Structure 1
Amino acid sequence: MAFVPAPGYQAAFNPPIPFTTIIAGGLRVGMAVYVQATLPKNYNRFAINLAAGQEDSADIALHVNARYDGRDRCVFNSRQGDVWGDEEMKREMPFKSGKVFAIMIEVTRNNFQIFANGAPFFEFAHRMPLDRVNWLQVKGDITVQELSIIGNGPGVKGNLVLSESQSKLVPMMGPPSINPPVPFSTNIRGGMIPKRTVVVKGMVKSSAKSFCINLKVGFNNDVAFHLNPRLNKKKVVRNSYINGSWGEEETQLEKNPFKEGEFFDISIRSGEKQFKVFVNGFHCFDYAHRLWNLQQVDKLEVEGDVNLIYVFI
């Protein structure tokens, strides 16, 4: 069963490179772009472009260019009318061979804030209007595991083009929470009604024992869905806490997708009878509802041995 992103969230897993995709509704303040990748066996340079078109000649608002030539560095630039602007450079290379790395670009009012592996890395001031930027390009020597465009939901200019499956889903409103501290807690406006999705992106700590994600009833702390990967016991526990007591644990799973020191992407979608849980783009398991007033399930919590990259509702 393939994961269908809800409106406001574009996600691609293992896309071919070069990869070009439209940014549905265009780029705006509050959005973010996430790229999780490795370097192939032979590599020299790769680029991530936020552009005004899909053509190679299109104007580029942000050009992130990692260069490996003995003077490893990251170059940042823009291009308008076939003319490149002044290069800005960071003589540091956090994107290493043999390791999975993460690049996050957050769009602010004044600049693009670029994060490398969860840490602030560079700021690039806007040189062209954001409303011209509606394409994402990834090129060069890079193997992408996951690519996400976060926050292009209701409120964008123009109409979003949705597939038939997407049109039946509740839009993700945002804005995303970027690199939030753990423990983390946030409200779910309107509750976990059917067709609503929450996305939790993070990395399991290298010495992790366990972490948990809870979907709760805010006013009485009942837990409609408790997702608890226990790394030290090699199992993924699912349960509910209702009227002061825990229910029966569910642990059956074909394959445990959570490993110490590795990234994960969890999408939890509420249905009429169950929560459907996708991990890293694949359907992992279903969890039948034990608490049926889903509108009251209006709080998300994340705790334990995990670093969060973003949370999006």
Structure 2
Amino acid sequence: MANTVRNPSTPYVGPISVGMTDGATIHVRGTTERHHAGFLISLQCGGSTDPRSDCALAFNPRFNEKQVVRNSLQSSAWGPEERHGGFPFRHGASVNVSIVVHAGHYTVKVDGNYFCDYNHRIPLHRVSHISVEQGIRISEIVFEAAPMAYPHQATGYPGVGPVGPILNPPTPFVHNMGSIYPGKMIFISGIPNAKPSRFNINIESSPDGPDNAFTCDFRFNFGSDRNVIVRNSKQNNIWQAEERAVSYFPVAPNAFFEMIILVEQYCFKVAVNNNHLLEYNHRLQPLGKFTFLRIDGDVRITQVRFQ
């Protein structure tokens, strides 16, 4: 799914509304200004331009030099510039710069044609914002998500096709998704608030009812917890033993994420931004009695869908 920002003013700074994972693409379309020396597209680790946040990729066409300079900024220090390649830009002309995310590098295309690769100097998980500045009048910025990671798995249960996405619902979000069963997938996209305490995702028998098959509670700053993911189940209003072990914390304030919850025969599997995160063994049965999805806390939900 693509998210589009139309006709923003220049300079523009905003969150990248897709996960920065292999296959994601950002298109910046507009018209170059006639009396400017160049323009700048930056993929940044934050939304500040003065002083500038760490910058994973600065793509800077310079008309006065007839070169396109690429670089990264870390701890207020610019690295070595890359300048090879031609200069496919003209003053006063329309332009489409596409940045394709790969595991080891970015590929940049100009008007659909390959221009360059740029190897990662800053990890992808830190990249959260895009800025577009200087001599370009922007018509649109389009964010295209990478394909989701978990394939649909064949099961002996009645299959259902993809359900149309629920876009930009309010939080808290409660939805009757029908019974869960092995092979069912829940797709959730969103952006945590700028200063989040926590948000949680729940699979329940009724909205905030006595039985909860799976809660996944992302705690940024809650009580004594910092960047902790708490998993648990609730039966007859009694919470069971928590699970907390996880290798990394995959979400960040003001940064877009995509999550998949895959129901398997013996467990839930969770992936975030196309990376496997955790498994949680089923504690409550039968699975079919759990029909509600509830999302609550400090998060703006952009899309939910079921398959």
* Length-normalised TM-score, structure 2: 0.54
SS class of match (2:288): helix
**CA–CA distance in structure 1, aligned partners of residues 152 and 297 of structure 2:** 32
The CA deviation string for residues 255-275 of structure 1, in whole angstroms up to 9 with x for no partner, is 111222222211101111100
Counterparts in 2 of 1:73 and 1:277: CA distance versus 1, 3 Å: same
Q: 8 Å contact 1:215–1:223 — kept in the other structure?
A: yes
Aligned to 2:105: none
2:22 is aligned to: 14
* Partner Cα distance (1:267, 1:302) in 2: 14
Pick one of 201, 204, 214 that aligns with 2:189.
Answer: 201
- Residue 180 of structure 2 corresponds to 192
Matched, 1:46 2:97: yes
Q: Which amino acid aligns with 2:201?
A: I
- When residues 174 and 12 of structure 1 are mapped into structure 2, their CA distance, relative to the original with a 3 A threshold, is farther
The answer on whether the counterparts of 1:12 and 1:148 sit within 8 Å (CA) in structure 2 is no
Structure 2: give runs of 5+ residues left out of the alignment: 1-18, 28-41, 45-56, 62-95, 100-111, 113-130
Q: Distance in 2 between matches of 1:288 and 1:239?
A: 10
C-alpha displacement of 1:18: 10
For 1:225, the equivalent position in structure 2 comes to 214
- Once the two structures are superposed, the pairs formed by residues 83-122 of structure 1 within 5 Å of their partners are 103=143
What code does the residue aligned with 2:154 have?
K
Query: Counterpart of 1:182?
Result: 171
**Within the alignment, does 1:283 sit opposite 2:270 as a pair?**
no
Following superposition, the deviation at residue 70 of structure 1 comes to 1.3
Change (3 A) 1:259 1:269: same
Q: Aligned partners of 2:267, 2:172: CA distance in 1, in Å? A: 26
Letter in 2 for 1:291: L
Taking a change above 3 Å as real, the CA distance of residues 306 and 67 of structure 1, as seen in their structure-2 partners, is closer
Moved over 3 A (4+): 16-19, 37-40, 66-69, 169-172
Distance 1:255 1:199 in 2: 20
Distance in 2 between residues matched to 1:212 and 1:16, nearest whole Å: 26
Structure-to-structure mapping, 1:1-313, within 5 angstroms: 13-15=21-23, 38=43, 40-42=57-59, 45-46=96-97, 70-74=135-139, 103=143, 146-148=145-147, 166=152, 168=154, 170-189=159-178, 191-218=179-206, 220-232=209-221, 233-234=225-226, 235-313=228-306
RMSD: 3.4
Question: Structure 2 counterpart of 1:273, which letter?
Answer: Y
Q: In the superposition, relative to structure 1, how do residues 250 and 16 fare at CA in structure 2: closer, same or farther (>3 Å)?
A: closer
Q: CA deviation at 1:72?
A: 2.1
Counting matched residue pairs gives 190
- Match for 2:284: what amino acid? L
- Superposition deviation, residue 311 in structure 1: 0.6
Aligned residue type for 2:298: D
Relative distance call for 1:206 and 1:16 in structure 2 (3 A) is closer
Contact in 2 for aligned 1:218/1:296 (Cα 8 Å) = no
Distance 1:215 1:294 in 2: 10
Inter-partner Cα distance in structure 2 for 1:231 and 1:12: 20
User: Please, what TM-score do these two structures have when normalized by structure 1?
Assistant: 0.53
**For the residues of structure 2 that align with 1:38 and 1:177, how far apart are their CA atoms?**
28
Which entry has the higher C-alpha Rg, 1 or 2?
2
Deviation at 1:168, TM superposition (A): 1.7
Task: Give the SS at the match of 1:295.
Answer: helix
AA of the residue aligned to 1:184: F
Question: CA, structure 1 residues 252+147, in 2 after alignment: closer, same or farther (shift >3 Å)?
Answer: same
- Conservation of the 8 A alpha-carbon contact between 1:214 and 1:301: yes
Question: Separation in 1 of the partners of 2:254 and 2:20?
Answer: 22
Q: CA deviation at 1:196?
A: 0.3
Deviation of the 1:166 alpha carbon: 3.5
Uncovered stretches (5+) of structure 1, i.e. residues with no partner: 1-10, 20-36, 49-55, 57-65, 76-94, 96-101, 104-143, 150-162
Q: Distance in 2 between matches of 1:74 and 1:167?
A: 41
Q: Tell me the residue number matched to 1:7.
A: none
